[in-house]
Every structure is written in structure tokens, then in C-alpha cells.
């Protein structure tokens, strides 16, 4: 069983938000491109909901990740999981299948 | 204990709602004291059971004799141990609060790591993600029954002894009555597992590969089994190891329980806010039987953060909020703290934050996750909070450092003469200065963090506040001041009417040295703070048009953009030419950053089809602008009034003469000046420590000289190879008697003649005349006086007669920056990159000035000099005599 974010669904998309927390996912908008990451820490799956000083911080053990999902500080050693997604026609929603 | 837990658990099943766990537990705490008490009994009996179990194990491990149990029973008891922990842990998960949601993620994933059976086991224990149904069944039935079997097999008793049972009941009922079982408030950022797993959480913090924990747990279980064998050498060694492991685990648990805060960072008792950082998420209170009367009221309150909170049971009529801070959506607790799970006034108001938004509490009020954490983070780095420029310039002036540059904060002030000077006279204006008293913003307001700008009292809230101050009780109709985006000039006035006096300049008021009695009944004067007399000169053209401070200045300038800056002009982003331009730099709504988009949406509604201006310096969107048919318009953020931003005149756009002259050098109508200031420390003076906000004996005293409102002097700001002519004012022409503070200091008297770059905020539509710079000794830096051009034969010569006498310290006129046709080096300004006009530049300017003594500035020949000065000089008539 993988708890690093496998939920499907349709989530509201805000292109203006540099970082948007959508429960199990994190949306990162940068330089015109959108990336979707699992919000669950790769160490033990705690949900990340803090972005401070350009870093995502896990509340359980303090692992830190860059905006690209790369590990800055352990205990996690794997990057945040990138999640494939599509937009709806009007680009108002993110769809995860 | 297990029996009490079992019985209380059965009763607890009645009020507990597994579909809304967190909410149903909060409702028990708030309005069902009997259910709350039962929950507390259930919690404490199970915790005591675990403590007794651990003590029992400890007792076993330190014995030297073999266990009396049969090997088969011991073999069954060993796996029973994790089952007992599971019954405890599943009970913990049923709280449904922030702690338990994260703990579930963690343990679920860890269980899934068990080879072969991990996923099946995880699913069998925890069930579907997001649902507590299976966990509830496992806790209430499966694990409890298994535990009961183990206990029975181990002790061979079904019923406890009556005496022991009664004693246990008394202990547990009393503990449950006086201390509520923990429940996370879902606002505090700390996330912790149950106390008995904090050792594991701490261990996992040190393990990048958490699978090692499974190996360790398996090893411990093997050791426990070996500890029950009959072979002395084996069980003795196993018990010794287990005792050591228990001690180590105890240390890890103590560390996790008492010394870990947000994001598992270490926090120690001697650190600021230690108690809040470590224990702040939980609110313990006594069982309040009388709270049952609030049951109906509690159920009427809106759910906030997935639970009910008590505040609005009493403060049900509170009103006056904007939609974004409506307590029906944000609650009261997220701003004001206290205990959201108690309806008892004293307990509910414990640790209440009267004024949320002070920077000392902003991180846990305005800055909590889900509110404005990134803004609070930025604000603490902004200049209004750090005062970096003010502090470093003051230390530089006091000769305590070689440059006016550096990064610091008011917290870094010590006891040097400059730092004491800052504490006595300056640092009250930093944003971190605590606001302790409720009430509307006045001319005397300083600091207050977020509420310094974002709190507004209307007529009704002022009336309610007055009633509250008189009676000490909140009126029936509680009008709360609004927390909103309506930042007015009055919010800025308190701090910005001092030093550079930008707020007063902008409104056209110039400070004088007159006394209030001198101007009683006279027109054209106003009093600030009841004692400072201001004379009306002329307001800024933008003020006359109705623009407020925030119409130009963005949230990223005012609350910082996350970077540390040394001086005001570094943090300042917006420039005149962002709006007054023929080539606007625009940005469409889809490209706006989140903060700008939210604010633009809140202020102006639908922004879909707008093109916004963005600043040239930091590319910040100016959300109250729009471009239509190549013209720039600005909307008053508070007034809604639309203003057309005139493009700059042709004279300003010409790319030859004056191209290095800043807009404000030409378009500042006047600037406040102050000369001849003397500073002395008086140990008997009744003073004030602005950092600690307390009165003290002894203070620096400023003996001010003369205040004037004059056109600014011109200075040169360098940045790499770029040069810009900017307005400067005599910021620090002063003496400081250092020996009055400390006789042992090497310098006794410090004298400085420093000019400071200025942003006068006295903009006039029409720029300065040619003569106001080229023939003006004040603009050139010589100070006030008479500058005359005399021609003798074919020789011309400029003469300067100063208005002020020479200062005894350097021989220059009191208000001068440089000698007539001379220069100065070294400490000349309050910036390292601002210097006076060079002699060669003065000569160039005075050459034009010489022409202007005969030719009208609007004459054709002068107009031609703007295009090609050298060509005009080449064809000058014989009667034209130049000075250089």
C-alpha cells in the first residue's frame, strides 16, 4: 500500500498561487508551468501543509523539500512524488486519474 | 484499570460519532460534561494501565529468577504486547484531530513496509483511507477482546480485587474530573504521537530508512521472548539489554514530550514561548458540570476547523467583521487563542491574546497555517520590523561603525551611546513594538504588528469600545473593530510623521519649532500629538487628487518581500515612472502572484480582463492600475476613484540633458530641513526606554536647531556605473557630546555634516525652474545665501555670500554640504553611495547658470542648449562671458 498520494479527483486550480495545498496534493506554479506533487512526505507519509522560506516542511520529523520537490533536509531522502495530471477544458480544475 | 477503561469505553460509544470524530469529541468537551468526564476516565484508566504494564515489565526484567509462567503462555504473551499497544493506539486515532491524522499516515505506511503481509495487515487494522470505521471496530472489539484474553491468561483472574478496584476508580475518576484528556486544537503547528510512541517518533527522526524500526521492534520482541526462557544465561542477558533499551526509550520519550516543538525542532525551557511551542496545542481544564446548560447553544455554533469552539456561546452577538475574518468561518480561537474547548470563562480565557497581530504573537495568530504564514514571515524581515537602516545610520553617526550599512534588528540593541540614543528617541516606531491597549489608531500609535495597519474602528465599534472601557464589560451588541484591507493614511501617520516626516509632508504640513500657544487661533497651523506645531506649506499633488499612501505602495513594499534590506530606498519598489510612462510594463491577471490576485479580487471583484502595471524594479504588480488604449489609470484602493496617470512631459523624456536627474529631484516642491542639532545625555532627565516600553531616569536629549521647508539640495547616488541626481536634505548636521554618556569614551565631542537622501513626498506638477537648480546655492549644496554672477571685462566670476555664519567645527556655513565650488570626501552622507556634486559638475551647472543670468529659461537659445550645449556655446556672441 502506498500512502504518498494516489487519490483520484478533480481539484480547483488557481494559476496565481505559487504554492497551493490541496489536501493530498501540492500544486506549484512557477514561470508559467504547473507541477503537481504528492503532499505526503516520502519518509513516512505525513501530510505536508507548510511552505516557508521557499521550503516545504514536514510537520512530523522536519524533513524539508525544495519547490521542485527535492530533499533539502532529512530524515526523508527521496524527492516528493510528482503526480501526473491534466487540466479541464477551461483550465479551472486539475484532474488526477 | 483495564476494566475501568473497558466499561467507560462502552459508555463512551453513545456520544461518540465515528463519522465526525473530532467534532463529536469537541462537543463532549464543550456541552456534555458527563460524556467528557467518561472520556477522561477512559483516557486516564488506559494510560495508567499502560504505565502499570510498563512498570510490571520493568519489575520482571530486573528479577534474577526465571519467570514462573509456562513457556507456551510466555510465547503467546510476547505477541500480545504489540496488541496492547494497538488497542491504545487505535483509541488515540479515534480523536480524529491533527495529531491523529498524521499519526495514522505514519503508522499505516510503516505497517505497509512489513514484508509480504504489510499491506494486508495495514488494511486490516486501519481500513479505508479517511474512514475510522474499521479502526473503531478494532479498538472497541477486536483488540480489546484479544487483550482481555491475554490479561486473563496471564493473571488467571477475571475480576480484580474489590479494594484495588475501588482505589483505582477513585484515582481515575479524580484525574478525569480535574484534567481533560488531550485534544489538539487543529491550529497549533505541533504534531505529536501519543506519549508512549514519542520515543518511536524520535527514533524515526533519526532514521532515513524507517524499515530499520521494524527490525528493531522485531528484535525487541525476540528479546522479550528470550527474557521468559528458563536458561539463566539467556534470560539474564536479554533482560539486561531490555532494561538498557527501556532506559534509552525513556530518554527519547522525555525528549519528544518536553523538548520538541513545531516540525520536531528542539525547544528548551529557557527559550521564548517554550510552553506554547511544546504544549500549546492542548488545553487542559477541569470538568465543568454546569456546561450542560450550553448544549443547545453549542450545537447552534458553526463548525470551525472540523470542531465546535466555545467562544461564540457567550460572544454570540459579536459583529463588525469583513467576510474574510468572519468568526463564523475563522472562529475566534484562531486569532485570540484561549481554550476553545471550555465554556467556563476563566478557563476559556486562559492564555487569551487580547491583541492578536503583535509580531510577538503573529506567528500563532495571523500567521497560522491556512491564514497568512508567509506574510508574517516576510514582515519580520521587512525594514519596518528590522529598522536596519535607522539603527546602522545612528551607530555610524555616533562613530560606532565605519559605514551606515549592515543588517540588524531592535533586538540587537545593547548599551552603547548610539543604542541608548535609539532606545530613548527612535525605536518606538518599529512594527514589533507591542501594542498593549485596545483602541483605534491615533497620531500617537506606534507598532502593533499586523493591527498597526489592518485594524479599523467604525462608529459603532468605537461606541462599543468606549462602553467596554467604562464598564470593563463587553456591551450586549459587541461591535468588534474590523480587520481588513482598508489601510488609510492615518495608519501610517504615527510613525511616518517623524524623522523624514513623509506623512505630514504629503498632506502639506511642515513642522516648526513654535509652541502650541504661539499659534492658538491662527489659521494654517495644526497640532500633532497635541504638542508639535505644523505650518501648512503645500500638499503633494497626489494627495490633492485624493490618492492615499497605499495607492502607490504595494503589500510587498510595506510588509516586505521576504528579503532583508539595509535601507528604505532598497526595499522601496514603486517608482514614479511605473505609472507616468508611455511604455508601461504590464502583466495579465493569470500571471499575478497569489497574494496580488487575492487582494485584487477582494478589492475590485472580477479582474479577468485587466492589464495591470508592474514595477520596473522588482516586477511587482500594481493591482490598482490598468492600461486602456495605451493610457495608464490608477484606482484609489479605498476611494475607488479612477485617476489618469499623465505620461511624463517631453522635457522629462528627452534622452540627453537631465537624463540622470530623478523625478523627485525636479518635482519635489519642498523638503523639511533641520540644522544645528546638539545631542547630550542627561542622567537626570526623565526618559523612556522604547524597546522595553518603560520609563527610566536618564536619557539622550536633542537640542534642535532650526526647522525649514526649502527646495531640496541635489546629490549624486551611484550604483555601479550609473549615476542619478537625487534630492538630499541636511539629515545630520549635528554635534554629539559623547562624554556626557560615558567619560571613558575616546571621543568627547562628535561633529558631523551629513546629508541624507530624501523622498520628500511634496510632488508638484511643474518641475523646478532652471534657475532653481543652476543659480541656487541651496540646490548646489552651498547652503542658503546670495549667489551672484559678476562680469568684469571679459571675465565672469560667481560669488557666494552665505546666509549662515560658519560653524566652528569645520568652518562651513551651518546649512552647507560642501564649500562654495569645493568638495568633501569621507563621511559626507548617511549612505555610502550618496555624495555631493563634484566640482566639475558644479562648474557645468554654474556655466548654465551664467547663461540664465541673461537669457530667459524659456528662450530659444536655452531650449537649444538642452539639445546640444556645446554647439550653442561655440556660436555664442562676444557679449556672452562664461565663468569657467
pLDDT in tens, B448-483: 999 999 999 999 899 889 988 888 877 767 889 999
DSSP H/E element including A9: strand A9-12
Chain B stretch 566-585, residues whose beta carbon is closer than 8 A to a beta carbon of chain A: none
Q: Are B765 and B670 in contact, with CB atoms under 8 Å apart?
A: no
CB of A55 within 8 Å of any CB in chain B?
A: no
Please tell me the predicted confidence (pLDDT) of residue B89.
94
| Mutation for A interface: B109, B306, B364, most A CBs within 10 A | B109
Min distance A70 CA to chain B CA atoms (Å): 15
| Contact residues for B394 (Cβ-Cβ < 8 A; gap 6+) | B418, B421, B422, B426
Pairing status of strand A51-52 against strand B795-802:
unpaired
Q: What is the pLDDT of residue B333?
A: 92
Contacts B191 to A, Cβ<8 Å: 46, 59-60
Q: How confident is the model at residue A6 (pLDDT cuts 50, 70, 90)?
A: low
CB pairs under 8 A between A and B: 102
With beta carbons under 8 A apart, name residues in chain B contacting A19: 594
Q: Is the pLDDT of residue B387 over 90?
A: yes
Q: 3-state DSSP: chain A helix, strand, coil percent, rounded to 5?
A: 0, 40, 60
* B568 located within any domain: yes
Contact B106 A14 (CB under 8 A): no
In this structure, are B332 and B247 located in the same domain? no
Q: How far apart are CA A44 and CA A38, in angstroms?
A: 13
Residue among B422, B421, B425 nearest B740 (CA): B421
pLDDT of residue A1: 41
Domain ranges within chain A, ordered by starting residue: 9-96
Domain range for B627: 549-574+581-647
Q: Does B473 share its domain with B612?
A: no
* A4 has a pLDDT exceeding 70: no
Model pLDDT, residue A94 = 85
Clarify whether residues B742 and B809 are in a common domain: yes
Beta strands A93-96 and A9-12 are antiparallel
Chain A residues whose CB is inside 8 A of the B112 CB are 1-3
B106 contact partners, CB below 8 Å, separation of at least 6: A44, A45, A46, A60, B193, B201, B204
Q: Considering the domain delimited by A9-96, tell me its CATH architecture.
A: 3-layer Sandwich (2.102)
Structure-block grid coordinates of residue B328: 463564523
Cβ of B593 within 8 Å of Cβ of A18? The answer is yes
Q: How far is B261 from chain A (nearest CA, A)?
A: 10
pLDDT for B319 equals: 86
User: Do the chains contact at B101 and A47, CB–CB below 8 Å?
Assistant: yes
3-class DSSP state for residue B776?
A: coil
Q: Which residue in B106, B118, B122 is closest to A44 by CB distance?
A: B106
Q: For B319, which DSSP code?
A: B
CB B392 within 8 A of CB B406: yes
In the prediction, which pLDDT does B757 show?
Answer: 95
**Region label for B813, one of left (φ > 0), alpha (ψ between -120 and 50) or beta (otherwise):** beta
Per the domain annotation, does B653 fall within a domain? no
Beta-carbon count within 10 A of B436 CB: 11
Rounded CA-CA distance B229/B210 in Å is: 30
The mean pLDDT of chain B is 90
Window 12-31 of A, Cβ < 8 Å to B: 14-20
Residue A89 contacts B where some CB pair is shorter than 8 Å: no
Q: Is residue B232 part of a domain?
A: yes
Q: Answer whether B122 sits within 8 Å of A1, measured CB to CB.
A: yes
More confident residue, A32 or B105: B105
pLDDT tens, position by position, B368-377: 878 898 899 8
Q: Report how far apart, in Å, the C-alpha atoms of B208 and of each of B119, B204, B218 are.
A: 21, 7, 18
B621-626's contacts with Cβ under 8 Å and 24+ in sequence apart are B621/B554, B621/B587, B621/B592, B621/B593, B621/B596, B622/B554, B622/B574, B622/B578, B622/B579, B623/B554, B623/B592, B623/B596, B623/B599, B624/B551, B624/B600, B625/B579
Closest CA to B421 of B672, B676, B733, B678: B678
Question: By the CB < 8 Å criterion, does B123 face chain A?
Answer: yes
Instruction: Convert B109-134 to b/e letters by CB count within 10 Å (16 or more is b).
Output: bbbbbbeeebeeebbebbbeeeebeb
Same domain membership, residue B501 and residue B454: no
Side-by-side strand order, sheet with B625-628: B625-628, B631-635, B642-645
Which of B431, B415, B422, B416 lies closest to B393 in space, CA to CA? B422
The answer to whether residue B112 neighbours chain A at the CB level (below 8 Å) is yes
CA separation, residue B521 to residues B516, B524, B527 (Å): 10, 10, 12
Q: Render the burial of B644-671: b for 16+ CB within 10 Å, e for the rest.
A: ebebbeeebeeeeebeebbbbbbbbbbb
- Name the residue facing A60 among B102, B208, B589 (closest C-beta): B102
Q: Residue B454: which H helix or E strand, with range? A: helix B451-454
pTM for this entry = 0.84
Q: Does B115 touch chain A (CB under 8 A)?
A: no
Are B689 and B602 within one domain? no
Residue numbers in A near B373 (CB within 8 A)? 50, 52
Q: How far apart are CA A40 and CA A48, in angstroms?
A: 6
The answer to whether B373 contacts chain A (CB < 8 Å) is: yes
Whether pLDDT at B844 is above 70? yes
Q: Which of B443, B459, B484 is the last residue of a domain?
A: B484
Q: Does B560 lie in the same domain as B514?
A: no
Contact A75 B208 (CB under 8 A): yes
Predicted local confidence at residue B398, as pLDDT: 93
CB B351 within 8 A of CB B284: no
- Domain assignment present for residue B285? The answer is no
**Nearest of B534, B514, B512, B513 to residue B524 by alpha carbon:** B534
Residue A20: what pLDDT? Answer: 87
CA distances from B156 to B50, B149, B737 (A): 19, 10, 89
| Domain contains B109 | yes
Q: Which residue bears the cell 522536519?
A: A62
Å between B636 CA and nearest CA of chain A: 23
Residue B21 has pLDDT above 90, yes or no: yes
Q: Which residues pair with B645 in a beta bridge?
A: B632
- Interface check for B374 against chain A (CB to CB < 8 A): the answer is yes
- Residue B597: its chain A contacts at CB < 8 A? 14, 16-17
What integer pLDDT is reported at residue A88 of this predicted model? 84
Q: Among A28, A42, A44, A52, which would you mutate to test the B interface (most chain B Cβ atoms within 10 Å of its Cβ)?
A: A44
CA angle B868, B723, B561 (to 5 degrees): 135
Looking at per-residue pLDDT, the higher value among B658 and B544 belongs to B544
* Alpha-carbon span B649 to B661, nearest angstrom: 14
pLDDT of residue B518: 92
More confident of the two residues A1 and B369: B369
Q: In what order do the strands lie in the sheet with B612-614?
A: B586-587, B612-614, B621-622
End-to-end CA distance of chain A: 17
B204 and B81 in a common domain: yes
Structure confidence by residue, pLDDT tens digits, B594-618? 889 889 989 998 888 899 999 999 9
Cross-chain residue pair A76–B208, CB shorter than 8 Å: yes
Do B617 and B706 reside in the same domain of the chain? no
- Distance from the first to the final alpha carbon of chain B: 103
Same domain, B823 and B854: yes
User: For residue range B777-829, what is the model confidence (pLDDT) as tens digits?
Assistant: 999 999 999 999 999 988 999 999 999 999 999 999 999 999 999 999 899 99
Residue that is last in its domain, among B647, B672, B698: B647
Would you state the pLDDT for residue A3? 43
Whole-number pLDDT of residue B168: 85
Which residues in chain A have their CB less than 8 angstroms from residue B109's CB? 1, 3-4, 44-45
B704 and B794 together in one domain: yes
Distance between B181 CA and the closest CA of chain A, angstroms: 22
Q: Is B822 helix (H, G, I), strand (E, B) or coil?
A: coil
Q: Provide the number of structural domains found in chain B.
A: 5
Mean pLDDT to the nearest integer, B623-636: 94
Which cell is B730 given? 541636511
φ and ψ at residue B88, rounded to 5 degrees: -70, -45
pLDDT digits (tens, 9 = 90+) for A62-76: 999 999 999 999 899
**A62 at B interface, C-beta within 8 A:** yes
List all residues 6 or more positions away from B487 whose beta carbon is below 8 Å from its beta carbon.
B453, B454, B549, B550, B558, B637, B638
* Residue B764: pLDDT band with limits 50, 70, 90: very high
Are the C-beta atoms of B350 and B341 separated by less than 8 Å? Answer: no
Which of B159 and B520 is assigned the larger pLDDT?
B520
pLDDT number for residue B645: 94
| B555 and B679 belong to one structural domain | no
pLDDT at B530: 87
Q: Determine the Cα–Cα distance for residues B598 and A18; give it in Å rounded to an integer.
A: 12
- Chain center to CA of A55: 12
| Contact: B105, A40; criterion CB under 8 Å | yes
CA-wise closest residue to B565 among B392, B732, B759: B392
Q: Which residue has the higher pLDDT, B156 or B249?
A: B249
Does residue B398 fall inside a structural domain? Answer: no
B839-852 and B860-867 helices cross at what angle (nearest 10)? 150
Same domain, B753 and B786: yes
Q: Do B106 and A76 touch (CB under 8 A)?
A: no
B104 inside domain: yes
Average pLDDT over residues B319-338: 89
Residue-wise pLDDT for B499-538, tens only, equals: 878 999 999 999 999 999 999 889 999 999 889 999 999 9
Helix B98-112 × helix B118-126 angle, to 10°: 150
B653's CB contacts (< 8 A; 6+ apart) are: B582
CB contacts of A4 in chain B (<8 Å) are 109
Instruction: Tell me, yes or no, whether B30 lies in a domain.
Output: yes
Mean pLDDT over B827-848 rounds to 95
Amino acid at each position: 500500500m502506498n500512502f504518498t498520494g494516489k487519490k483520484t479527483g478533480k481539484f480547483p486550480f488557481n494559476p496565481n498561487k505559487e504554492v497551493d495545498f490541496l489536501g493530498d496534493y501540492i500544486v506549484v506554479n512557477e514561470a508559467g508551468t504547473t507541477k503537481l506533487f504528492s503532499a505526503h512526505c516520502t519518509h513516512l507519509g505525513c501530510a505536508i501543509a507548510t511552505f516557508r522560506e521557499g521550503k516545504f516542511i514536514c510537520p512530523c520529523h522536519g524533513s524539508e523539500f525544495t519547490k521542485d520537490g527535492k530533499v533539502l533536509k532529512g530524515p526523508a531522502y527521496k524527492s516528493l512524488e510528482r503526480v501526473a495530471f491534466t487540466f479541464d477544458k477551461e483550465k479551472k480544475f486539475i484532474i488526477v486519474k | 484499570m483495564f476494566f475501568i477503561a473497558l466499561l467507560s469505553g462502552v459508555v463512551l460509544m453513545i456520544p461518540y460519532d465515528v463519522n465526525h470524530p473530532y467534532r463529536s469529541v469537541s462537543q463532549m468537551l464543550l456541552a456534555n460534561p458527563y460524556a467528557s468526564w467518561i472520556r477522561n476516565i477512559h483516557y486516564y484508566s488506559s494510560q495508567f494501565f499502560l504505565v502499570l504494564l510498563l512498570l510490571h515489565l520493568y519489575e520482571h526484567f530486573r528479577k534474577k529468577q526465571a519467570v514462573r509462567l509456562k513457556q507456551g503462555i510466555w510465547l503467546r504473551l510476547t505477541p500480545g504486547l504489540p496488541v496492547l499497544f494497538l488497542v491504545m493506539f487505535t483509541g488515540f486515532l479515534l480523536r480524529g484531530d491533527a495529531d491523529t491524522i498524521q499519526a495514522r499516515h505514519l503508522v499505516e505506511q510503516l505497517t505497509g513496509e512489513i514484508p509480504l503481509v504489510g499491506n494486508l495487515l495495514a488494511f486490516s487494522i486501519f481500513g479505508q483511507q479517511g474512514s475510522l470505521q474499521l479502526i473503531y471496530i478494532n479498538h472497541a472489539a477486536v483488540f480489546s477482546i484479544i487483550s482481555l484474553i491475554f490479561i486473563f491468561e496471564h493473571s488467571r483472574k477475571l475480576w480484580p480485587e474489590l479494594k484495588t478496584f475501588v482505589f483505582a476508580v477513585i484515582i481515575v475518576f479524580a484525574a478525569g474530573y480535574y484534567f481533560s484528556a488531550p485534544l489538539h486544537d487543529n491550529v497549533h503547528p505541533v504534531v505529536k504521537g501519543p506519549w508512549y510512541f514519542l520515543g518511536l517518533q524520535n527514533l524515526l527522526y533519526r532514521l532515513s530508512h524507517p524499515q530499520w524500526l521494524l527490525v528493531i521492534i522485531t528484535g525487541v520482541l525476540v528479546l522479550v521472548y528470550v527474557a521468559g526462557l528458563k536458561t539463566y544465561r539467556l534470560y539474564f542477558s536479554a533482560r539486561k539489554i531490555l532494561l538498557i533499551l527501556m532506559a534509552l526509550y525513556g530518554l527519547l520519550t522525555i525528549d519528544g514530550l518536553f523538548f520538541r516543538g513545531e516540525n520536531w525542532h528542539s525547544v528548551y525551557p529557557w527559550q521564548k514561548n517554550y510552553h506554547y511551542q511544546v504544549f500549546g496545542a492542548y488545553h487542559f481544564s477541569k470538568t465543568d458540570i454546569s456546561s450542560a446548560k450550553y448544549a443547545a447553544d453549542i450545537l447552534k455554533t458553526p463548525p470551525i476547523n472540523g470542531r465546535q469552539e466555545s467562544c461564540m456561546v457567550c460572544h454570540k452577538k459579536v459583529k463588525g467583521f469583513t467576510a474574510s475574518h468572519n468568526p463564523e468561518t475563522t472562529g475566534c480561537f484562531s486569532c485570540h487563542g484561549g481554550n476553545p474547548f471550555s465554556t467556563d470563562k476563566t478557563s476559556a480565557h486562559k492564555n487569551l491574546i487580547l491583541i492578536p497581530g503583535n509580531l510577538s504573537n503573529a506567528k500563532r495568530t495571523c500567521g497560522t497555517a491556512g491564514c497568512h504564514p508567509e506574510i508574517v514571515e516576510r514582515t519580520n524581515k521587512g525594514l519596518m520590523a528590522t529598522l536596519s537602516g535607522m539603527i546602522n545610520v545612528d551607530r555610524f553617526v555616533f562613530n560606532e561603525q565605519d559605514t551606515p550599512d549592515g543588517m540588524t534588528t531592535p533586538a540587537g540593541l545593547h548599551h552603547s551611546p548610539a543604542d541608548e540614543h535609539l532606545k530613548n528617541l527612535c525605536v518606538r516606531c518599529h512594527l514589533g513594538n507591542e501594542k498593549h491597549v485596545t483602541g483605534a489608531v491615533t497620531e500617537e500609535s506606534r507598532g502593533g504588528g499586523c493591527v498597526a495597519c489592518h485594524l479599523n474602528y467604525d462608529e459603532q465599534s468605537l461606541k462599543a469600545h468606549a462602553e467596554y472601557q467604562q464598564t470593563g464589560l463587553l456591551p450586549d451588541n459587541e461591535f468588534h473593530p474590523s480587520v481588513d484591507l482598508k489601510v488609510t493614511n492615518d495608519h501610517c501617520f504615527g510613525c511616518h510623521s517623524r524623522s523624514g516626516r513623509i506623512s505630514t509632508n504629503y498632506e502639506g504640513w511642515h513642522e516648526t519649532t513654535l509652541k502650541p500657544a504661539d499659534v492658538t487661533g491662527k489659521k494654517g497651523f495644526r497640532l500633532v500629538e497635541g504638542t508639535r506645531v505644523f505650518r501648512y506649506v503645500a500638499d503633494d499633488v497626489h494627495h490633492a487628487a485624493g490618492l492615499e499612501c497605499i495607492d502607490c505602495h504595494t503589500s510587498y513594499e510595506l510588509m516586505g518581500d521576504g528579503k532583508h534590506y539595509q535601507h528604505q530606498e532598497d526595499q522601496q519598489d514603486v517608482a514614479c515612472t511605473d505609472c507616468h510612462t508611455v511604455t508601461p510594463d504590464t502583466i495579465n491577471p493569470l500571471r499575478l502572484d497569489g497574494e496580488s490576485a487575492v487582494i485584487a479580487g477582494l478589492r475590485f471583484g472580477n479582474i479577468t480582463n485587466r492589464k495591470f502595471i508592474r514595477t520596473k524594479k522588482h516586477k511587482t504588480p500594481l493591482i490598482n492600475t490598468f492600461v486602456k488604449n495605451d493610457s495608464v489609470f490608477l484606482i484609489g484602493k479605498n476611494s475607488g476613484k479612477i485617476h489618469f496617470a499623465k505620461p511624463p512631459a517631453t522635457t522629462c523624456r528627452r534622452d540627453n540633458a537631465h537624463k540622470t536627474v530623478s523625478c523627485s529631484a525636479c518635482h519635489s516642491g519642498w523638503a523639511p530641513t533641520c540644522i544645528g542639532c546638539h545631542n547630550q545625555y542627561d542622567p537626570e532627565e526623565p526618559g523612556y526606554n522604547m524597546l522595553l516600553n518603560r520609563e527610566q531616569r536618564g536619557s539622550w536629549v536633542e537640542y534642535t536647531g532650526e526647522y525649514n521647508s526649502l527646495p531640496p539640495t541635489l546629490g549624486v547616488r551611484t550604483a555601479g556605473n550609473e549615476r542619478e541626481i537625487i534630492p538630499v536634505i541636511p539629515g545630520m548636521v549635528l554635534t554629539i557630546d559623547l562624554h556626557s554618556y560615558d567619560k571613558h569614551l575616546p571621543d568627547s565631542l562628535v561633529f558631523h555634516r551629513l546629508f541624507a537622501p530624501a523622498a520628500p513626498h511634496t510632488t508638484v506638477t511643474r518641475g523646478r525652474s532652471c534657475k532653481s537648480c543652476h543659480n541656487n546655492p541651496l540646490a548646489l549644496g552651498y547652503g542658503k545665501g546670495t549667489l551672484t554672477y559678476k562680469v568684469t571685462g571679459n571675465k565672469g566670476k560667481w560669488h557666494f555670500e552665505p546666509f549662515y555664519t560658519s560653524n566652528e567645527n569645520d568652518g562651513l556655513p551651518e546649512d552647507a554640504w560642501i564649500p562654495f565650488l569645493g568638495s568633501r570626501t569621507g563621511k559626507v552622507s548617511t549612505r555610502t553611495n550618496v555624495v555631493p556634486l563634484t566640482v566639475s559638475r558644479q562648474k557645468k551647472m554654474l556655466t548654465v547658470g551664467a547663461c540664465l543670468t541673461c537669457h530667459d529659461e524659456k528662450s530659444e537659445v536655452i531650449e537649444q542648449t538642452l539639445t546640444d550645449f556645446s554647439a550653442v556655446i561655440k556660436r555664442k556672441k562676444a557679449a556672452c562671458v562664461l565663468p569657467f
